[in-house]
Structure 1
Amino acid sequence: MSFSIAGKTAIVTGAANGVGLAIGRHFLSMGANVVFADMNEEKLVAEVGADDSAEPKFITFSGDLREKLTIANLLSATLDHFDQVDILVNGSRQVLESDPFDPAADQVETLLQQNLMTSLRLTQAISKRMMKQAETAAEDAPAGSIVNLSSIAANRTQPELLAYSVSSAALNQMTRSMAVALAPHRIRVNAVAFGSVMSASLKDTLKDNEEYREDIKEHTPLHRIAGPSEVADAVQYLASDASSFVTGEVITVDGGRSLVDAARAPAH
């Protein structure tokens, strides 16, 4: 079975930095058409630029995807440029610390909206388009693949990450529920849950904190921090026909970190 995503059109959210940006760039290098979507227009343009060719392979889209109108505009922009959408990567996510004793600072509503509801609303909107496309395709042809970016925090008990853990766990359950709901329509829904990844933000954090770097490595059996491309490879597998009989799964990419005592090393 082929891992190829060449010629397919993918929407990648949270694509202005970190893992989302790495996935978008990786998909582009693999021959896919890519819509890089993010709330931060300035950073998105700075990182991605623009494809000014006669037949562009990628576009950028900026807007607040917590708003239903923005989601509709994202789908319209995608169809205007590429006529179809085959892959959705829900990578728009946020990490905030929680005070579990303070309702004003527990961040639960904020992160449920950002990390769960945005992905759910996008999944609902994009899957409807995938269903419509499937009406003119072969009866047994895959209709689409949706991949949610989650975290190993979903299965770890860290009160200071209460909201992030709860929203990640909810996203995993949404993945399973939507996988069953969309299976009759030949749309697969999976997730990739990862631990610490050497994104630009983590690099900044570690720059003056060698102790933290060693703490992460100490609690990771493979004794290193993942590169963004290692998450992107897992996402490509789930987006491609190589995983044609895989749905409702949460694949863990964390070097074994979730298998051992978490101690106090935060998950990112």
Structure 2
Amino acid sequence: MGAAVSRWAHRLRTWRPPAPPLPDHLEPVLRRDDPEWFARELAIAAAPPWPVWLFLLRRCSWLVELFGRVEVTGAVPEELRRGPLLLAANHVGDFDPFVIAVALHRLGVVPRIMATGGIMSAPVAGPLLERAGGIRVDRGTSLARHAVRVTEVALVHGGHVVAYPEGRVGLAPDGWPERGRTGMARLALGVRVPVLPVSQWGAQEVLAYANDVTKLRTLGRSLRRRPVLRVHVGPPVFLEDLEVGRVGDAHRARMRIAAAITRGLVPLRAAGRPLLPDPTRPTTGVAAFPGGIVPDDVP
């Protein structure tokens, strides 16, 4: 019996849906020292959306709404939905990727979400997210460049990629978005695709920042209270006057992206509850625009 359970557990840990074949034109991208998942993610990025992912978006959004009422404002113009998109979102908690996926699908977007390597390596959930178009980001390691390459392939093939410019769950004490890193800004300037700001508020109430016991407590509380999970998609960020590689332009781009997200967040926070205290969340971050006040001279 013990051996059978061990075999079953091993199969569960190593299971993954079959990936599409890697297109011939992407074969030269691979190198011998690339991680084993890189070829899979390239193939998935170049392929149309996975039918199972489309089914889940269409039929299973009610699972997310068990924990809160999803309200979506803004729009994604049809002409933008037909081409590649970068969607820049503030990161308020571990539950918000599910909220964003549901919200964006309502607006006609099929999201491919960038996620940390830890989530992508998890049994079952990781392989499912990868096959759905999730892009692994191993921040602070030599493998981080692979995420850029996969994202480029996804965008060249018309994908809608959701990225978190902050690079982590935001840790500013007042809950406003941090200015983040320049990686997404450089990518947007290099590939020249529209960047839409995605502002969200409420998902931080569903799952606490850390501590499994606290996460379970807040999850159960959300089942009872069903907080409002607000998402707003704004117009494209103006980046046309900036160039990749020109000194200072990557910084200007990231500040404009942070400004657009912050502006969209102001009415969401005004309509929702204030930031609830979470003793498990550090407050070591610095908001790009404290108090949600964006200067008029920022485009």
- TM bucket (normalised to shorter chain) is 0.3 to 0.5
Larger radius of gyration: 2
Q: With structure 2 as the length reference, what TM-score do the two structures score?
A: 0.40
- By relative contact order (CA 8 Å, sep 6+), the higher-ranking structure is 2
